[in-house]
Amino acid sequence: MAEPLVLGFETSCDETGIGLVRGHTLLSDALATSMAEHERFGGVVPEIASRAHLEAMVPTVHRALADAGAALSDVDAVAVTSGPGLTGALLVGVAAAKAYALALGVPLYGVNHLAAHVAVDELEHGRLAEPSIAMLVSGGHSSILLVPDLSQDVVELGRTIDDAAGEAFDKVARVLDLPFPGGPPIDRAAQEGTASIAFPRGLTGPRDPAYDFSFSGLKTAVARWVEAQQRDGVHVSVPDVAASFQEAVVDVLTAKAVRACRDHGVDHLVIGGGVAANSRLRAVAQERCDAAGIVLRVPSRRLCTDNGAMVAALGSRLVMAGVAPSQPDLGADSSLPIDVVSR
């Protein structure tokens, strides 16, 4: 069959992402963000995000089509993130995608946001080796997955039991008076410092779950260390705290991902999600994968954060695999489990 042209909608958080993908080829990736409206609150406000999606939706679709040199009549299928994410934000995207699919008379695919973070790598590095291990690290999720077949078979091996890695970055950034979101400023500050402070590595004991994460204790340890230094009148080196915190997160993430590959006899690891843009995570993952004989795949930084291209990429994979499209009554599921690739 000819490679389908898929229009993808992503609205799970604060980014309105519209992507156009033909087969495994990215044609356009238009993005509108409401991040500036959330900064003063120190986190994403769901109601503000939902209203911003409403305002940005149609102009962003038009921009994606213009960038691709395509018309709506060229679209063969529509894909949309139907979960997990913020309920109100998801509903805007699902409603828009259903309207476009109905008007165009094309099939609609409601897809899993986390599986889409894995699928986006195929736009840059070709078809994913199957099976692969995938590690997804973002503001809302930190998971290790076994992926025998991205179109229909994804198994969760482990996940965070409290804070996601990106959430910990945001909270530590607040402690250090760095801007929101915390990932990029901590990454930049860490490059000027040394990882000289021994912060804890959660769930790394011999009896702890092999693939689960915990970052809440680390976040608290950083906050208490900073408070103690300030109470004693000691200067706090933001770069050193940032580097030490970042090293603790990266150490645990990469060690568990490599262990999952070894334990399951899998020699391909893909890392996705917003935290995958972190320079230290990318460097340490490459070092440890090289040492273990594992092929590492990480999307370019712009495709790690939420975008419409990743949704279109997974939609394209589903169309080409012959997976049945979603029903017209497709809804949003804020806690959609990772083993449900499409619904």
The DSSP line for 91-129 is HHHHHHHHHHHHHHT--EEEEEHHHHHHHTTHHHH-SPP
pTM: 0.95
Overall residue count recorded for the chain in this entry: 343
Half-sphere exposure of 243 (CA within 13 A, CB side): 14
- Residue ranges, comma separated, of all CATH 3.30.420.40 domains in the chain are 5-124+303-321, 132-298
Q: Domain 5-124+303-321 - what CATH class?
A: alpha beta
Whole-number Cα distances in Å, 228 to 222, 232, 241: 10, 6, 13
* 138 annotated ligand-binding residue: yes
| DSSP state at residue 250 | H
* 339 annotated ligand-binding residue: no
Query: What beta strand segments (E) does 201-290 contain?
Result: 268-272
What is the model's pLDDT at position 44?
Answer: 86
* 273 annotated ligand-binding residue: no
> Cβ distance 144 to 135 under 8 Å?
yes
Q: Note if the bond before 209 is cis, omega within 30 degrees.
A: no
**Phi, psi for 145 (deg, rounded to 5):** -125, 145
* 212 annotated ligand-binding residue: no
* 162 annotated ligand-binding residue: no
* 278 annotated ligand-binding residue: yes
Whole-number Cα distances in Å, 196 to 61, 237, 241, 244, 317: 47, 11, 8, 6, 45
Enter the tokens of residue 312.
């279109």
Pick out the chain residues at pLDDT < 50: none
* 140 annotated ligand-binding residue: yes
What is the model's pLDDT at position 146?
Answer: 98
Instruction: Provide CATH code, domain 132-298.
Output: 3.30.420.40
* 117 annotated ligand-binding residue: yes
Enter the tokens of residue 81.
């993130």
> Cβ distance 69 to 20 under 8 Å?
no
* 183 annotated ligand-binding residue: yes
What is the model's pLDDT at position 1?
Answer: 62
Rounded to a whole number of angstroms, the distance between the first and last alpha carbons of the chain is 23
> Cβ distance 312 to 20 under 8 Å?
yes
* 307 annotated ligand-binding residue: no
What is the model's pLDDT at position 142?
Answer: 97
